[in-house]
Amino acid sequence: MKDPDAHANPPVDGGELIRFDKVTKRFGDNTVLDRLDFSVESGRHVTLIGPSGSGKTTILRLLMTLTRPDEGTIKVNGDYLTHEERGGKLVPAREKHVREVRKNIGMVFQHFNLFPNMSVLRNITEAPVTVLGMSKDEAEARARELLELVGLSDKADAYPTRLSGGQQQRVAIARALAMRPQVLLLDEVTSALDPELVAGVLDVLRDIARSTDITMLCVTHEMGFARDISDQVLMFDSGRVIESGSPDKMFGEPEHARTREFLSAVL
């Protein structure tokens, strides 16, 4: 059988997996991201922190093409996400191109977003079968491996409404991984959970961070978790990265007054 952690498209070795180049995003008069430059290297676990409204979720939504940049470009594994080079010029990309590049990216949302009318197993196999063209048998075998990884082997035939929020979120993680993305985007994945269910989800994510080579880009208010799993922490304020560094530096000796102020409010 195939290596369960193999990706659809192998990453460019050790290189940049994500690059934002002068990305501006406005909602009406509100400039949420202002010529933002940042990059994430393949295999790294990067956490975005910063006050509410500073543009963190917008970055993840841009990567999922749930919203588009007003200016600037985004590259994923060396390919432009929403642009294509045609006749030596950079032009808005056709949907087919966008879909192809986006296959590299998986996302887990705050509110799970499972298909309520499908069993857990089918939630996980649906996209690999319909989007990647995987055989049903292969998709099911892979789904069962992933259910084991997230500690839900016994829930394959259950329906989402019968599961706790924490279990639903673990299914959502398995579903995202089933597409073999190179990068997993995690948007406040524990903030809709009852407090007693948070640790189980974070443990699964810690395990995935340790045991796979997947790149992770997380937005979280769980600073203990951010400290544990991150290689790099980026502090956002008003749509810009104002400070970045290792978790030890960012949580132990932040340089920027804004970072210190933010951390003292949330820690």
Nearer to ligand ADP, 53 or 200 (CB): 53
Helix (H, G, I), strand (E, B) or coil at 184: strand
Asked if 55 touches ligand ADP (CB under 6 A), the answer is yes
To ligand ADP, the closest distance from the beta carbon of 35 in angstroms equals 16
Asked if 220 touches ligand ADP (CB under 6 A), the answer is no
Q: How far is CA 8 from CA 70, 107, 183, 185, 262, in A?
A: 29, 16, 11, 17, 38
To ligand ADP, the closest distance from the beta carbon of 93 in angstroms equals 21
Question: In the chain, what is the straight-line distance between the N-terminal and C-terminal CA atoms, in Å?
Answer: 45
Q: How far is CA 52 from CA 22, 79, 221, 236, 266, in A?
A: 22, 30, 10, 10, 11
Helix (H, G, I), strand (E, B) or coil at 12: coil
Binding-site size for ligand ADP (CB under 6 A) equals 12
Of the CA atoms within 13 Å of residue 183, those in its CB half-sphere come to: 29
Rounded to 5 degrees, φ, ψ at 231 are: -90, -25
To ligand ADP, the closest distance from the beta carbon of 159 in angstroms equals 31
Nearer to ligand ADP, 65 or 77 (CB): 65
To ligand ADP, the closest distance from the beta carbon of 70 in angstroms equals 13
Which of 7, 56, 175, 180 touches ligand ADP by CB under 6 A? 56
Nearer to ligand ADP, 25 or 180 (CB): 25
Asked if 107 touches ligand ADP (CB under 6 A), the answer is no
Which of 19, 46, 47, 57 touches ligand ADP by CB under 6 A? 57
* Identity of residue 104: N
Helix (H, G, I), strand (E, B) or coil at 193: coil
Segment contacting ligand ADP (CB under 6 A): 27-35, 94-102, 177-185, 258-266? Answer: 27-35
Asked if 52 touches ligand ADP (CB under 6 A), the answer is yes
b/e map 189-209, b = 16+ CB within 10 Å: bbeebeeebbebbbebbeebb
Asked if 27 touches ligand ADP (CB under 6 A), the answer is yes
Chain contacts with ligand ADP (rule: CB under 6 A):
27, 30, 32, 50, 52-58, 219
